[in-house]
Amino acid sequence: MRRRVRSAVATLAAAAGIAGVMVQTGSAGTVQDYPEFPYPVTNYQEDNRGQFHFSSRGGWINDVNAPLYYDGEYHLYYQHNPHGLQWDTMHWGHATSTDLVHWKQQPIALEPGVHPGDLWSGGGVVDTGNVSGLKDGDDDPIVVYSGTNGVQIFYSTDGGDTFQTYDGGRKVVVPQGTSRDPKVFWDEATGTWGLVVWSDAPGGNGVDFYTSDDLLTWTHASRYNAGWLFECPDFVPMPLDGDPANVKWVLNDGAGEYVVGEWDGTGFTADDPAPQKFNQVDTFAGSSYYAGLTFTNLPDDRVVSMAWQGQNGGTVWTGNHTFPVEMRLETVDGRPAVLSTPVDEIETLRSDTQTWKARMLDGPRAAELLAGVEADTVEIEAEFEVVGRTPARFGFRLGTGEDGWFDHEVIYDSATQTLDGVPLPLEDGKVKLRLLVDRGQLEIFGNDGRLYRSLNVNFDSMPGDDAMELYVDGRVRLASLAVHQLDSIWGGESTLESNLGGRWYSDSGVWSDASGGKQGASGGDAFYLNTTTGTDFTYEADVTLNSGVAAALTFRSNRDASRHYTANVDATANVIKLWRPGPRHRHLSARRRARTHLSPQSGGRGPADPGIPRRRRGAGHRRRRRHHHQRPVRPERVQRHRRDRQRAGERTVSRRYTGGTVMTAFRPSRRRFAGAVALTAALLTASACGSDDDGGDTTAGEGDSVAVTLITKDSINPFFVAMQDGAKEVAEDENVDLTIAAGAEDGDEEGQIQAIENAIAAGEQGILIVPNGPGVNPAIEQARDSGLFVIALDTPPDPADIVDITFATDNFEAGELIGQWAAAQLGGQPATIALLDLFNDKIVSVDYNRDQGFLSGMGIDIADDKRNGDEAATGDYSGGTYEIVCNEPTGGAEDGGRTAMENCLTRNPDINVVYTINEPSAAGAYAALEAAGAAEDVLIVSVDGGCDGVQAVADGRIGATAQQYPLLMASEGVKAIADIARGGEPPTPSDGLDFFNTGVALVTDTPADGVESIDTTEGANLCWG
């Protein structure tokens, strides 16, 4: 049995010479004729091989066996023939994951000739209380059950990697007739273990229940007969409708047929004996869904299941498993039903996301929408609303070709209310679709899991047919659409055993699998890297240098390992070095062929560049500061932005990020793994990659340049373009090295998070950001913890103190001004209002402040001033009665404004007041009104004050706009962050506010009594863009 070392392996490094690194793992058993491990080399790119659906590296797989969670790792065992592509001589294969998504092949767990009996399907549990008495070491026993015509027990004392046979393979349970597929469960109510096993006697198909206190000795409790209940049973408790006081038990068979009922500790009674189905496909052994099991010992009482997805394969593999789904029990049409949705961990696979806002669609508009969008491995989330009485058919065609060919279509028919041919009623006139599209696998989810279908589809049927099309026959409203490109789960690494859930890749050298480890060869530096990131962590391994001169473990590396820290065993000098590119090392003695235990520890959220260590702010830490006098600012002093300066010496210092950097650090964990890293030959020298920077803290000297990144919401909106240009102008005067970054669009939090991580990695001293939403808050905190100063512009974050200071418009006041003006212009007429907001799927301060300010200015009672759309739809405003027709999202874009206005007009064509979040959305709203012949009768109000917006007021397309001053925000932000970075104090917020108010003015040529305003001539002198 191999020794296990508590550890968390990180990057492996070898260099200059022929090098081999391997983690020695041993094998699950030895049969001379069976070369069980490692499997033949594969890149997982065979035709139809799923890129995010688990399949064995080689050979045949079928039923899921004993899925469980232990000590930070998910274990997936499965029926397996490692020696062929058909069912034969069942083994238990084994794979592990730290995140339920990225699976790593492990050695065989149960093997004929080593473990007795028919090693057919079964379940397993973690004996956390050691009631079995089988514990031998630090790990809790993992006990699994298998066998036919009687149940045998196997157990692991090393965390689930190798198994011993209990009591010589004696069958501890022998049901009548033919029997197989035991599954063990825990009964919390009675504090006992239960076992359910299928048999065909007495009385035909059914299951026998047994109970035990020690997992070894079992007593027959009862039998449940049902003609439909054939093999591979599972039995799991689930709270009904999320109520922990109302727990039901779900009994299912291999085909995913199930009943819901009561378990009294010895017997099961179904509430309704007629079975339902987890998965709405034709299920049988070998079909696209069969023999699913739920994981045991999961944290937070989650119910997660995987199943065998048969009938597909390639040159070296046959069969895969469905993507893990989380199950919940809800009341549907008056009876409990199990709903399934992909586990949230799928989000870790998303590499790129495209979204589309709400709009009306017909056939031609739908067909054009997804032009150029790849559909190789994607997740699609869409919601549609059926409007009017005319039936519509709509959905997605996948794997499309130029001649109209498609590999599969997923269509909802509103007339029959079916999705992909399966009944799925509309909910409030809407239907949600969620599709997982892989190379040969398609999984369909409808209305948050009320429909679940797993299919095999040959998406490789045509070379290059990785396209898809949104299909509509009739008219339908698209409420939302997101297409997420999904990364592959295969990291190219199998025999290296670690607890890292990220992706392994070879940066340099040639790395290959070897029995019990990973082996590299290189004529220079060789690094094998993992994309996992972490904060405080420890990782360790036993390193043995067999030949050559060096081996190492690397941490806090950047993507190409040009910057890193490395714990290096240098046999030439007989020392262990803590090495980074540059001249400084910390030495300890070492010698060749001696096993050396390395255990690097890293604290804090430092950057990838170890040459620039960061200061962390924490308890007891005080920054050196200087008094900063708040500069008075007045909007009338802001001049229109000058064009790029051409004179010599007037160069704006700026950079623009066009991509991201992969950070390589390592996740803290208590997980163990087998370790003994052996290196056959290497040379790792201090001068391999160089940096002589001593590093320092984030405080700059009086004359020092300050590195700052400005991150705007996007680079399209004229407001943010003006802000970027204004920041560039002042950056040179303030000796600021300015980097420009932005989200792909308004609301793109991921793009901003990447830009923040880039700023940290680059060792910059400050960030100016217009936050796209609360999703960026953790990254802002990470930046501040890493020693960067952060100032927000335009959009105060929530909470406000997550940044050092915010320079912004009082957006509530801006909304109030245009609301007061609109109410005055109506002169007591009824107000029929359209509210064109920023988002409807996230809460952003600029969004709710402007909306709620507008309503308050109109004299309409608001409810929650941080939430749009919760005010009364009808009532009185300051001048008369009102009706709010719609709250529609625009994304702050012109096309979003047009679509939002079109949607509102379909609900009520008599709208006479339109509030818009900004001037681009106002332009789109005007275009929609003009197309409908209603533009002359509607008051449009907005916020921005850009030059185009002021001109729109002058031309009568917008009635009034609240002018804000992005150049002032940018210039004051750059000056303040430079001052703070050099030791000064941040400015203090304006009186009564939690931000520094840069001012606002109402621009209109139709002034209203009691509402202060300026005309478009003055507005043009102050405008931007």
Q: Is residue 983 part of a domain?
A: no
Last residue of a domain, one of 431, 459, 486: 486
pLDDT of residue 69: 98
Look up the CATH number of the domain holding residue 316: 2.115.10.20
Residue 763 and residue 678 share a domain: no
**Domain membership flag for residue 69:** yes
The region of weakest confidence among 152-161, 500-509, 836-845, 977-986 is 500-509
Q: Is residue 968 part of a domain?
A: no
User: 718 has which bridge partners?
Assistant: none
- The tens digit of pLDDT for each residue in 287-315 reads 999 999 999 999 999 999 999 999 899 88
Which domain-ending residue is among 787, 808, 829?
808
Q: How many domains does the chain have?
A: 5
The string of pLDDT tens digits covering residues 602-626 is 554 333 333 322 222 232 222 222 2
| Residue 405 confidence (pLDDT) | 85
Q: What is the pLDDT of residue 942?
A: 98
Q: Look at residue 459 in the predicted model and tell me its pLDDT.
A: 84
Mean pLDDT, range 376-396, rounded to an integer: 92
Q: Comparing 992 with 627, which gets the higher pLDDT?
A: 992
Look at 224-238, 318-332, 991-1005 and tell me which has the smallest mean pLDDT.
991-1005
Ranges of beta strands (E only) in 147-303 are 152-156, 164-165, 179-187, 192-199, 206-212, 219-225, 234-240, 243-252, 257-263, 268-270, 276-277, 290-294
Structure-token match 């989000």, residue found = 347
Of 637 and 491, more confident: 491
Q: Does 691 have pLDDT greater than 80?
A: no
Which comes out higher in pLDDT, residue 604 or 763?
763
605: tokens are 């959220």
pLDDT band at 220 (very low <50, low <70, confident <90, very high): very high
Domain presence at residue 972: no
Can you tell me the mean pLDDT for 442-465? 86
| Of 566-575, 587-596, 598-607, 619-628, the least confident | 619-628
Buried b (16+ CB within 10 A) or exposed e, 61-95: bbbbbbbbbbbbbbbbbbbbbbeebebebbbbbbb
Asked if 370 and 448 sit in the same domain, the reply is yes
Statement: residue 54 has pLDDT above 60: yes
Q: Are 445 and 521 part of one and the same domain? A: no
Q: What is the pLDDT of residue 402?
A: 77
Boundaries of domain holding 742: 635-660+698-808
Rounded Cα distance, 525 and 554, in Å: 12
What is residue 123's predicted lDDT score, i.e. its pLDDT? 98
- Within this chain, do residues 472 and 453 fall inside the same structural domain, yes or no? yes
Are residues 355 and 333 located together in one domain of the fold? no
Of 181-185, 400-404, 859-863, highest mean pLDDT: 181-185
Asked if pLDDT for residue 695 goes beyond 50, the answer is: no
Is position 401 within any domain?
yes
**Model pLDDT, residue 359:** 86
Query: Are residues 816 and 804 part of one domain?
Result: no
CATH code where residue 850 lies:
3.40.50.2300
pLDDT average, residue stretch 26-47:
60
Answer with the one of 469, 486, 503 that is the final residue of a domain: 486
Residue 733 phi/psi, 5-degree rounding, is -65, -30
Rounded to an integer, the average pLDDT of 638-658 is 28
**DSSP secondary structure letter of residue 937:** G
The answer to whether residue 628 sits within a structural domain is: no
Mean model confidence pLDDT for the chain = 82
721 in a domain, yes or no? yes
Of all residues in the chain, what percent carry a pLDDT higher than 90? 61
Beta carbons of 511 and 526 less than 8 angstroms apart: yes
Residue 990 forms part of a structural domain? no
> If you average pLDDT over residues 784-812, what whole number do you get?
91
Residue 35 has pLDDT above 80, yes or no: no
At 848, list the tokens. Answer: 């709710």
For residues 875-904, give the mean pLDDT: 95
Tell whether 876 and 920 lie within a shared domain. Answer: yes
Q: How confident is the model at residue 981 (pLDDT cuts 50, 70, 90)?
A: confident
Cβ atoms of 396 and 356 within 8 Å: the answer is no
How much is the pLDDT for 47?
84
Query: Do 253 and 118 belong together in one domain?
Result: yes
- Is there a single domain that holds both residue 760 and residue 712? yes
Asked if pLDDT for residue 188 goes beyond 50, the answer is: yes
Question: Are 78 and 151 found together in one domain?
Answer: yes
On whether both 515 and 381 belong to a single domain, the answer is: no
Do 523 and 463 share a structural domain?
Answer: no
Q: What is the pLDDT of residues 801-860, one digit of tens each?
A: 999 999 998 999 999 999 999 999 999 999 999 999 999 888 888 899 999 999 999 999
pLDDT of residue 701: 52
Q: What is the pLDDT of residues 419-450, one digit of tens each?
A: 999 999 999 999 999 999 999 999 999 999 99
Angle between the N-to-C axes of helices 777-785 and 749-761, in degrees from 0 to 180, rounded to the nearest 10: 10
Cα–Cα distance between 21 and 519 in angstroms, integer?
5
Residues recognised as catalytic: 63
> Where is pLDDT greater, at 450 or 490?
450
